[in-house]
């Protein structure tokens, strides 16, 4: 099948239209490797000549193998190095396994729960995304295929860290994960020094959702801080993440020594980046009311 496609197609032009519909990223794909309409969303995996595999859900690029490390390291290690001893971690979304892979680099973690609503994403990742899915069968990991908002509601005072690795609020199941009710239930599911962290979109194409997500999270958690990271194949390349915390501050309670002693290899995150990522450009402070 691969040979036939290569003979009949020069390349597939993939175009992702960003919010507003007037700009976006195009990628010349070598081939479509996997395509399936699950009960929740359309799942496509392409092979790109430079970026490796590319996962697309409902027409939105989730990552390319060439730069997913930027997103997964920033989403996971900022909260996990803020908490002094994370043992129980919940990941909501993230069926590809990239966030789980980063969480399990922390030796303190005893139990990592992945709550991914769509089992077909997990199956596709195991088949085609070897670098992402490497820890999906780790004995410390449990996988639940249910709605993340429902799952959180059933847990109280249990997790040290909750990570929201969701699709966009406007796509598929992502919308449930951007409500105040959901953030409140995450608060209750966390232990007394628990930390919540979510991806909160980009402030160039999706200004509105950045402000909404930050304001809702900060209305629930006593400590809330936005940080940014480069994510080179996401809209605008400028990605925001928001920490919500019950008592630990990601700058004041951050233990550099643990990072310096960390055994696992990291390609983006380091101690300087941890601190620097909380410095926000003036327009982003204004957008979110953080002064």
* Interacting residues with its own copies (CB under 8 A): 15, 20-28, 48-51, 66-67, 69-70, 202, 204, 228, 230-234, 236-238, 266-270, 272-273, 275-283, 285
145 contacts: CB under 8 Å, gap ≥ 6 = 115, 116, 117, 118, 119, 122
Tokens of 128: 């085609």
Candidates 118, 165, 202, 206; catalytic one: 165
Q: Is 290 annotated as a binding residue?
A: no
Using a 10 angstrom Cβ sphere, with 0-12 exposed, 13-18 middle and 19 or more buried, the burial of residue 275 is middle
Tokens of 124: 């596709």
Q: How many CB atoms neighbour CB 139 within 10 A?
A: 5
Identify which of residues 74 and 114 has a Cβ nearer to its own copies in the complex.
74
**Nearest approach, Cβ of 59 to its own copies (angstroms)?**
15
Using a 10 angstrom Cβ sphere, with 0-12 exposed, 13-18 middle and 19 or more buried, the burial of residue 3 is exposed
115 contacts: CB under 8 Å, gap ≥ 6 = 90, 91, 92, 93, 143, 144, 145, 146, 148, 151, 152
**Nearest approach, Cβ of 259 to its own copies (angstroms)?**
11
Q: Is 72 annotated as a binding residue?
A: yes
Return the H-helix or E-strand segment holding 153: helix 148-153
**Nearest approach, Cβ of 134 to its own copies (angstroms)?**
19
Identify which of residues 144 and 278 has a Cβ nearer to its own copies in the complex.
278
Q: Is 123 annotated as a binding residue?
A: no
Tokens of 275: 């601190």
**Nearest approach, Cβ of 141 to its own copies (angstroms)?**
26
Identify which of residues 143 and 259 has a Cβ nearer to its own copies in the complex.
259
Identify which of residues 149 and 231 has a Cβ nearer to its own copies in the complex.
231
Active-site residue flag, 118: no
Q: Is 165 annotated as a binding residue?
A: yes
| 238 contacts 202 by C-beta, under 8 angstroms | yes
Q: Is 99 annotated as a binding residue?
A: no
- Binding-site residues for spermidine, please? 72, 96, 165-168
Q: Which residues are annotated as a binding site for S-methyl-5'-thioadenosine?
A: 41, 116, 147-148
Active site amino acids: 165
Q: Annotated binding residues, as ranges? A: 41, 72, 96, 116, 147-148, 165-168
């Amino acid at each position: 099948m691969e040979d036939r496609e290569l003979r009949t197609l020069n390349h597939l032009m993939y175009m992702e239209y960003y919010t507003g519909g007037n700009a976006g990223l195009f990628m010349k794909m070598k081939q479509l490797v996997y395509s399936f309409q699950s009960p929740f969303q359309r799942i496509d995996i392409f092979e790109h000549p430079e970026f490796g595999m590319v996962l697309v859900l409902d027409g939105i690029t989730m990552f390319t193998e060439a730069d997913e490390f930027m997103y997964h390291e920033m989403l996971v290690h900022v909260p996990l190095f803020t908490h002094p001893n994370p043992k129980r971690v919940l990941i909501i979304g993230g069926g590809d396994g990239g966030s789980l892979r980063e969480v399990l680099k922390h030796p303190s973690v005893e139990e990592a729960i992945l709550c991914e609503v769509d089992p077909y994403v997990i199956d596709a990742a195991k088949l085609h995304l070897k670098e992402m899915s490497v820890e999906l069968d780790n004995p410390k990991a449990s996988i639940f295929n249910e709605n993340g908002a429902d799952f959180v509601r059933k847990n109280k005072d249990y997790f040290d860290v909750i990570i929201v690795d969701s699709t966009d609020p406007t796509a598929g199941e992502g919308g449930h994960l951007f409500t105040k009710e959901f953030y409140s239930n995450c608060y209750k599911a966390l232990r007394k020094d628990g930390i919540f962290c979510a991806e909160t979109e980009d402030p160039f194409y999706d200004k509105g959702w950045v402000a909404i997500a930050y304001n809702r999270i900060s209305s629930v958690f006593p400590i809330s801080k936005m940080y940014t990271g480069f994510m080179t194949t996401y809209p605008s390349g400028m990605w925001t993440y928001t920490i919500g915390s019950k008592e630990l501050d990601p700058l004041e309670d951050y233990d550099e020594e643990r990072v310096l002693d960390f055994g696992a290899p990291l390609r983006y995150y380091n101690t300087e980046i941890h601190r620097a990522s909380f410095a926000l450009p003036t327009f982003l402070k204004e957008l979110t009311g953080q002064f």
